[in-house]
Structure 1
Amino acid sequence: MSTLHDLAATVMARRGADPDSSWTAKLLSKGPEKCAEKFGEEAIEAIVEAVKGDRERLTSEAADVLYHLLVMLAARDVTLAEVEAELARREGTSGIAEKAARGG
């Protein structure tokens, strides 16, 4: 199992944990909107580091983005497996064609 799968499993397992003993449970207890807000904050921090060109900081911020993405997904009961299935469905499709099919 990959580190990302392990992290996703941990996030899902913490949904019912005590918010005083788990940062993940604390985030989830604040609701999907707060989880989405936190994901957005982390994404912006990653963008800043990408623009600056600091590889070490970008790596750290990217890890935060992945963690907070998993928390946000868990807040809406979306699993990593579902996201992977969507990626598999898109495999072999041109990004331009896929975007056009979504109307975007």
Structure 2
Amino acid sequence: MAKGYWVCTGTIHTPLGMVPYISKFTAWLATVNARILIRDLSSDVREGSPGTVNVIVEFDSKENAIDAYESEGYQELIKLRTPYSELSLTITEELNE
């Protein structure tokens, strides 16, 4: 089965405001069997304007990634993040050839 991913890009406006989100998000990942593959807060952006934050989170499948995003637990976490950041999140899956 193909793995699922959250691809997150954007900007953090108030880094200290993100501390509660980051600590709770990190603990929450274990509850949905996910892990952070990439976390770069100062990416070298060469094209476009996605912001300098890049995070990729891996899940067992795209369905798991969707379920995790739609979960009550993550919906509550979004409320901790949005006042301090402007991020986009795309759910996708790996290429299996």
Q: TM-score, normalized by length of structure 1?
A: 0.26
Larger helix fraction of residues:
1
Larger strand fraction of residues:
2
Greater RCO (Cα-Cα under 8 Å, separation 6 or more):
2
Q: TM-score, normalized by length of structure 2?
A: 0.27
